Amino acid sequence: MQQARGVVGRSRVESVTARGTVGSQSSGGPVSSGVDWPFVLRVTLPVVAVMVAATALLTALSREWTAFDLTVYLEAGRRLASGMDPYAFSMPPIDALYRYSPMFAVLMAPLSGLPLPVVAFAWRLVAFGLLGLSVRGLGWVGVIILFNPLVVFDLLVANVSTLFLAAMITVVRWPSARTVAGYALLVVLVPKPTLLPVLAWGLWRVAPARLPVGLVAALGVATLAIPGYAPAVLSGSHIFGLMQNLQALSPMTVYVALSAAACLTIASTRWPRLLGPAAVLATPYYFDYGWMLILLALVPAGTVAAGPMMAWRRPRRSS
């Protein structure tokens, strides 16, 4: 009897679905899933125009600090391409050091021979574009994230934090094996404890991502065998910011911040909005652009109503 009811129930659902399908076809013909290029252009061209204008404005600001962090990345790439140690230099005026993976320096090497204004313009355009993609469909929250002083300052110095924030938002909004594994690769390229809360949340949320992330982690461990890399990446000044930001405070501050970050990361399995504060506390640099990661707290987890991240298709009815 129960099986008969189930069959009747399924037949009703199928009949309703069939009526809806017939109605949609009769009203305007079959639905096409091709790319609506006029729609794409109407959406993207104004955004690109704003991005180009904002990037040009940033390039014209403060010559001393324009793309300063990018110059460190490019110098590491240039030195690596020339057969020199990418970790054996400091960049004035603050004696900044390169502390990231040699693989990241390899990616920067082809760009090191180009004029800095050109590379800085392209960097900012890509960073702002990726962040814009990550917040699309968020309304006023997306506007606040895109056009706030913390993001502007990060774009000014061309730091990687804008890429961090875009990657974090992508994982939180579209958690999948692909996005979590790609995020893990970013952690390997630019290792920072501030990235770990979102990675832990992604691994907890997406079980299929654990194997590819394990492979990426093995790659990251293997890079520590490269001469000079392990001392650089494991130095206290890089991981905790002790030499630059907390030198006037007790080291206990670092331990308290890391403990709080761990607690918030665990709590984020139930309240994902805590990932933003956890990311800030995980690496207490307390630079202006480090605080931009707090903006992750504005992003609701799993906002799949916006559709896939790279969806540029809109249903059209053929005549």
Compute the half-sphere exposure of residue 75: CA atoms within 13 Å on the CB side of its CA. 17
Is position 110 within any domain? Answer: yes
Do the domain assignments include residue 26? no
Residue-wise pLDDT for 15-31, tens only, equals: 434 444 433 343 444 44
61 within domain boundaries: yes
Most confident segment among 199-208, 229-238, 286-295: 199-208
Is residue 125's pLDDT more than 90?
no
Q: What is the pLDDT of residue 238?
A: 46
In a domain, 275, yes or no: yes
Range of the domain at 257: 34-301
The pLDDT value given to residue 291: 79
Query: What pLDDT shows up at residue 47?
Result: 63
- If DSSP codes are grouped into helix, strand and coil, which group holds residue 306? helix
Task: Tell me the per-residue pLDDT of 38-82, one tens digit each, with 9 for 90 and over.
Answer: 766 666 666 666 666 666 665 555 554 578 888 889 998 998 888
Average of per-residue pLDDT values in the chain: 74
Q: Is 22 inside a domain boundary?
A: no
Assess if residue 191 is contained within a domain.
yes
What per-residue confidence (pLDDT) applies to 183?
95
d(CA 119, CA 188): 23
How large is the average pLDDT for residues 167-194? 91
- Residue 307 domain-assigned? no
User: What's the confidence (pLDDT) of residue 179?
Assistant: 94
Check if the beta carbon of residue 161 is closer than 8 Å to that of residue 296.
no
User: Cα torsion at 28, 33, 35, 40 (round to 10°)?
Assistant: 70
pLDDT for 242 equals 38
Q: How far apart are CA 195 and CA 187, in angstroms?
A: 7
Domains identified in the chain, total number: 1
Is residue 318 in some structural domain?
no
